[in-house]
Structure 1
């Protein structure tokens, strides 16, 4: 069976990344190169050092080079705008918490505390000044993490390794792409909705065929050079590249593996950034933790797209992250308040009914946090959209409000 269904056995063949020969090429998708502009300086160095180790196997399709140069200048600017928005949102949120907590003293009858705050408004103002100073220092810390432009190193790594194509290739590929997209043949059909164009030698071509153009370049280069292995590294996790089952990405689409075998008798492997770096550097899980944490953070805020993410999309993702962080802050504060009230009641000899009710509220908080954790995991894995995630956060915030109403009834005891 293995000889007939070769495409199902590719992953069983181990590839030694420390001994790659000239029959193997490594193709980085555009999103991998653009991420060099938004990762930390440490991770940028790690990635470039990894590429240096395998530079003899690097090869760049023209389509990747075009997309990279078209978007690289805006990528850093996009990240800077996101940073500024996050700092601004954090500052506003901290001010809001201070004002809300001051109002709570007034609304819940703690008049002496209210009078103290009013008489010592300068202390309250000092807290706000400290917040302003904190955000300035945070901004400075961000600036220290600013990465250098990797273009010089990339030009060195890819010298004489960029594919060249003709206008006639694009023209014939557009017609072929139309037929493939109509039949949902991977890759690229998930970009059907793109309505912009790309330019090549004075001719305009639909950008929605970008992934297919990239794939055609790989197929033809593998065939013309009698390659045995193609390693494609990407953060594009759409279904027209990866096979997915029960929410998990388990490898390249079988159609892609089979097509490369049929056209060039070469084996296809598709990796995400961390898998590729782990293989090349022979890293274990412990050494991988910081890298994984940062890469997951990039995925959460949507910085793995090949093209510019619109400001609207950045705002939505930022809103989702801010809502989640604020809800987590409120959950921790509410749970802490329950413990404080319970200790006070126990010291004052209140009966078990009150304590049991507080325990019940504690269980509700724990259940809320566990449920929230499941939703966050689904969101990070791409199983739910940002809009649905925001709706869930809003719903959980309302649940927390109801719990806090019950807690407030104990404040007067």
Structure 2
């Protein structure tokens, strides 16, 4: 029976350990770009992990090109971050001057300004490793680590075939990459099939080299991960099935949090919570930037369609927001109940859980009402909208 349903079976701990010791590691583009964004502590851990695994790392050709195309922009972005902090300091000091009716030359204000700017400069010297696109030790390290370990990529004809296949896959929501379908039009038409191209490269490498593969990604979208009730179970079942059928090898994935936690845990070191917080914070900023780009495109398209169609689009988005809120409520309840399963639960926690459960019920009721309205509107419409 196992062979018939193998893609549904999550790897056991001993299987994960075996893969960690023998598989080839592949990192997505944002893992490399975020080396410029990370603090020194996080960056050193990740580069240390790559160094330790240097005999078993490989980079898809598409990732190499994505990295080089976006690297300079990210360098400027990180430099600008510290410049903005200095600007915000001046604004804050001005607010203090105005609201507290103090003089600009007041010794306390000058001392506060000096303290904040010194703190910013200290962090900048420690964490901002690259300030010049030519003198780039991060790039030098990556070039050294991945020397001779970058895929050949696909030629123009092969890319055309992947794009044609991608159109069909995206329509059917076959992972990976269908969440990037909105990039196919307008200014975002630069990497709609990037994830699919990378996936095809990974499969080709595994099939050719007869290697098990581990993919480490910052991407948290549902077209890579099997997400149930807000909880990430593992890689998408379709990905494991496709990979196994085409390569006869094993495939696993790690988020950046889990990858670094596993790497540090193998050294007998408990990962610093501040590192986890930083990884999550940076991923949030990346997701927000992507969301803002898609939102602008969404608003442009929304202005081009009719009133009834707009209502359908907005209802779909409201349902998604409500479902997201309810996933967070479920996770909160599960986390609190698990935390106190071996000890007496304080009354305030009991009250918090009870209130969260009530809000969960109300959220489900709102979703049901929105779904009913949506069904009524879609019955009236003859066409099928495919935004997002």
Q: TM-score, normalised by structure 2?
A: 0.66
Match of 1:153 in 2: 141
Residues 1:266 and 2:249 aligned together: yes
User: Would you say the 8 A contact 2:59–2:146 is kept in 1?
Assistant: yes
- Which of 106, 112, 118 is matched with 1:125 structurally? 106
- Which of 122, 127, 133 is matched with 1:141 structurally? 122
Match of 2:179 in 1: 190
Q: Quote the Cα distance in structure 2 between the aligned partners of 1:41 and 1:173.
A: 39
Q: Quote the Cα distance in structure 1 between the aligned partners of 2:96 and 2:103.
A: 17
User: Would you say the 8 A contact 2:7–2:237 is kept in 1?
Assistant: yes
Unaligned 5+ runs, structure 1: 103-116, 199-204, 314-365, 375-413
Residues 1:289 and 2:273 aligned together: yes
Q: Quote the Cα distance in structure 2 between the aligned partners of 1:63 and 1:197.
A: 21
Residues 1:179 and 2:179 aligned together: no
Measured at CA, do residues 285 and 98 of structure 1 come closer, stay the same or move farther in structure 2, by a change above 3 Å? Answer: farther
Q: Quote the Cα distance in structure 2 between the aligned partners of 1:182 and 1:4.
A: 27
Match of 1:275 in 2: 258
User: Would you say the 8 A contact 1:17–1:280 is kept in 2?
Assistant: no
Residues 1:232 and 2:215 aligned together: yes
1:66-119 deviations in whole A, cap 9, x for unaligned?
Answer: 10010111112112223332443354245435644x4xxxxxxxxxxxxxx7xx
User: Would you say the 8 A contact 1:44–1:147 is kept in 2?
Assistant: no
Question: How far off is 1:134 after superposition?
Answer: 2.6
Question: How far off is 1:36 after superposition?
Answer: 0.8
Match of 1:388 in 2: none
User: Would you say the 8 A contact 2:213–2:252 is kept in 1?
Assistant: yes
Match of 1:38 in 2: 37
Measured at CA, do residues 206 and 43 of structure 1 come closer, stay the same or move farther in structure 2, by a change above 3 Å? Answer: closer
Measured at CA, do residues 174 and 123 of structure 1 come closer, stay the same or move farther in structure 2, by a change above 3 Å? Answer: closer
Measured at CA, do residues 292 and 83 of structure 1 come closer, stay the same or move farther in structure 2, by a change above 3 Å? Answer: same
Q: Say which SS state the counterpart of residue 213 (structure 2) adopts.
A: strand
Match of 1:162 in 2: 150
Question: How far off is 1:274 after superposition?
Answer: 2.8
User: Would you say the 8 A contact 1:40–1:147 is kept in 2?
Assistant: no
- Which of 243, 255, 262 is matched with 2:226 structurally? 243
Match of 2:21 in 1: 20
CA RMSD across the alignment? 3.3
Measured at CA, do residues 239 and 34 of structure 1 come closer, stay the same or move farther in structure 2, by a change above 3 Å? Answer: same
Match of 1:252 in 2: 235
Q: Say which SS state the counterpart of residue 193 (structure 2) adopts.
A: helix
Q: Say which SS state the counterpart of residue 208 (structure 1) adopts.
A: coil
Match of 1:6 in 2: 6
Matching of residues 27-106 of structure 1 within 5 Å = 27-93=26-92, 95-96=94-95, 99-100=98-99, 102=100
Question: How far off is 1:124 after superposition?
Answer: 8.0
Residues 1:214 and 2:198 aligned together: yes
Q: Quote the Cα distance in structure 2 between the aligned partners of 1:192 and 1:73.
A: 26
Question: How far off is 1:266 after superposition?
Answer: 1.9
Q: Quote the Cα distance in structure 2 between the aligned partners of 1:197 and 1:283.
A: 47
Measured at CA, do residues 156 and 262 of structure 1 come closer, stay the same or move farther in structure 2, by a change above 3 Å? Answer: same
Structure whose CA Rg is larger: 1
Question: How far off is 1:41 after superposition?
Answer: 2.1
Q: Say which SS state the counterpart of residue 244 (structure 1) adopts.
A: strand
Measured at CA, do residues 190 and 90 of structure 1 come closer, stay the same or move farther in structure 2, by a change above 3 Å? Answer: farther
Question: How far off is 1:277 after superposition?
Answer: 2.5
Q: Quote the Cα distance in structure 2 between the aligned partners of 1:175 and 1:51.
A: 35
